[in-house]
Structure 1
Amino acid sequence: MRKVISFAVIIFCICTLPLLAKDESKIPNHVVSIELQNTSKQLKEEQSTMEPSEQTKELMESIDMKLDNEELIKMLNETTIKPSPIALGYRGNIFLGHWPLHYKSVESKVNWEFQLINVNEVNNYGGDKPVSVHYDQKEEKHVKGGLTVKAQKVDQIMKMIISEAEKKHSFPLTFHATYGKGTKLSQTYDVAVNKVGALKAYAPVLQEKGHVTFGEVYLELKGSKKNLVIKNVTKQEVGAFIPIENHVAFSYKSS
């Protein structure tokens, strides 16, 4: 009987582990959306996917490497290549540049209290009854995403990282989060008599760790055939922080 119970417990743990891991990525209770209240309305950066043309698809199939860089895909889409069918013996290599090609995520976690953006404080010393404090953004604050290491073509790398992160998380990610002055929430926190209540507001970010694959991209022409060739491939470990748009984490302390 004990063996049966133990086996059932093991099965239960195995089945619930993915659910527990998924719960960790949910927005916790002390984090609140201010999308409707934010006095600084943000224009959502549309992370539209650049679809490769038929010609670009053929070129991408000629290499055994994944290409995620939409700037590179866009350039290939705009390139017209029409080798002559009678160009026997013709050979040529066209250097297209050194590009970040692919980003692979290794670790992804949220820092809900990444940056302090506001403090609302109420002093109730000498008062005769409890009072309250609520969130009221005093000054406009900006939190910009970025890499934690030096790298070439940072904007292209950040786009690849955000695109990869959005596949795993439902958080609204942005390159630049703004918290407008005068943004308020109606939720209040009690400050007892002879106490000071401090409500701190933090901007949360998604922290990413992974590596970027770089390479020199060549267009190789052989007679009527055309192929992509990637040379001098290197990898670089990168870290990045990406603001979570229109969300604030609160911490309240009374002393």
Structure 2
Amino acid sequence: MTQPTHSGEPEASSPSAPQVPQTTPAPSQDPAARPPTRRSLRGTEWEKIAAVTAAAAAALGLVFTAWTAYIAQEVARDQLSQSQQQDAESERSQAASTNAWVEQNVEDGVQTLVVANRFPDPIKDVVVGLIVDGLVDEFRNGKTQSGEGIVIIAAADSIPPCAKVEMELEEVYITKNNKSVPLMAPKVQDYFLAFKDANAKEWERDKYGSLTRKSQNSKDSTRNKYISLLDTPKYDGPHQPNVDRGINAYKPIDCGNRS
């Protein structure tokens, strides 16, 4: 056994492995491997916000453009509709100022067809038609027959502005047994008025006051319907000298009044 020495010198330690100094690894030079900093995060967020804002602005711009185009289209449509309505009203202005109606004398019961032009321009190519029913004393012995009727069609070149014509049904005749006999108590069953306005547009008004654009040369004109009645047994041809006189006897009227 080895005995420790007492020389006072420290005992030599046994030899060991050399120690390697510890070093901190250097940071990576790859930018992608670096953790994002607060500054880079904030920049990315602003870029996203800017992109979203730009997209929203573009979308709003498209919406505004579409809305502006829609409003412009609606305004144009309204203006066109208003213009067409004004043209229609202007077109009908003279026709609407021309009327026909039947008056009856309270004393003798005689009826009169009145046509009035309350417009500062004349109406032209005037045609008036009436269907008149009455009684006929065929044998002059008091025996009467009812249900007889005639078709009266009268015409005038024009009716002046602010004027009216009156056609009395006081002397109305019908042909029976090749003789012209008076139609007693004649009453208007139907009538119409046709004319051309200052712009040569053709109009037709019926006894109910309805006003329509209609050519008297068309097959469905009331004038042609009246003429076709002359071929039926019920209706006799026209015998109306007083009506012919009346449609050409003008009387001035106030254009602001109806008669």
Give the number of the structure with larger relative contact order, counting CA–CA contacts within 8 Å between residues 6 or more apart. 1
Give the structure with the higher percent strand: 1
Question: Structure 2-normalised TM-score?
Answer: 0.24
